[in-house]
Amino acid sequence: SAVISQKPSRDICQRGTSLTIQCQVDSQVTMMFWYRQQPGQSLTLIATANQGSEATYESGFVIDKFPISRPNLTFSTLTVSNMSPEDSSIYLCSVGLLEHAEETQYFGPGTRLLVL
Amino acid sequence: SQKIEQNSEALNIQEGKTATLTCNYTNYSPAYLQWYRQDPGRGPVFLLLIRENEKEKRKERLKVTFDTTLKQSLFHITASQPADSATYLCALTYSSASKIIFGSGTRLSIRP
């Protein structure tokens, strides 16, 4: 298993500003992911954070809006840039682990973002 | 594109009964299907994984079935308890290296 922490747990931001969310894992992992979950909605994958290379973004998400860093195997950051009220959501970090030949994901507690 | 359908309406069950949640998907079958539990204000927690060549899997009071003909998975909680109240998410993976696609979840409420 893995224990994942995220900072901040919540924030209220003004439109046009940027927020960087940190994700820390208690062990070295290869796969780290960033998701967004809007109220009552499914989790939507933003990108896969790759250590030592650029993140891989899903359709509808771009690096200029959601820059991601992955400086090592235990840490990643997601920045939400030039925020608008539509960016209000919960942002979740997760890691993929292979346990008993089965790949599962462990999630952080999430960062609740409100943009005014 | 692949779609996952979970009942968006909340499911209310009397304590002690079996709760059954449904996950339907379109297009081709995934390599494996997972179920997660999510409590308010928290990230999802992994519960069970079932592979496409498995019909059924159990873990304590939980049982998952996977029917690739019907393109459906059922998630059962037997002897349900109020502590089982949460949102349950179905998720599909198409290979060990591919991303996980989540359904929107079904909220389950167990009344005493």
d(CA B72, CA B77): 17
Q: What is the pLDDT of residue A104?
A: 81
Residue A101's pLDDT is what? 63
Q: Which residues of A touch B (CB under 8 A)?
A: 4, 33, 40-43, 45, 48, 58, 92, 94, 98, 102-110, 112
Dump pLDDT digits (tens) for B10-36.
999 999 999 999 999 987 778 889 999
For tokens 């998975």, what's the residue?
A: B73
pLDDT in tens for each of the 116 residues of chain A? Answer: 889 999 999 999 999 999 999 999 999 988 899 999 988 788 999 999 988 888 999 999 999 999 999 999 999 999 999 999 999 999 999 998 877 666 788 999 999 999 99
> Torsion angle, CA of B53/B32/B63/B67, rounded to 10 degrees?
-50
Q: How many CB pairs under 8 A join A and B?
A: 46
| B52 pLDDT above the threshold of 70 | yes
Question: In this predicted model, which residue has the larger pLDDT, A104 or B73?
Answer: B73
- For residue A100, give the DSSP letter: T
Task: Give the per-residue pLDDT at B2.
Answer: 72
Q: Enumerate chain B positions whose Cβ falls within 8 A of a Cβ in A.
A: 4, 32, 34, 41-46, 49, 89, 93, 96, 99-105
What is the residue-wise DSSP string for A54-76?
Answer: --EEPTT--TTTS-EEEEETTEE
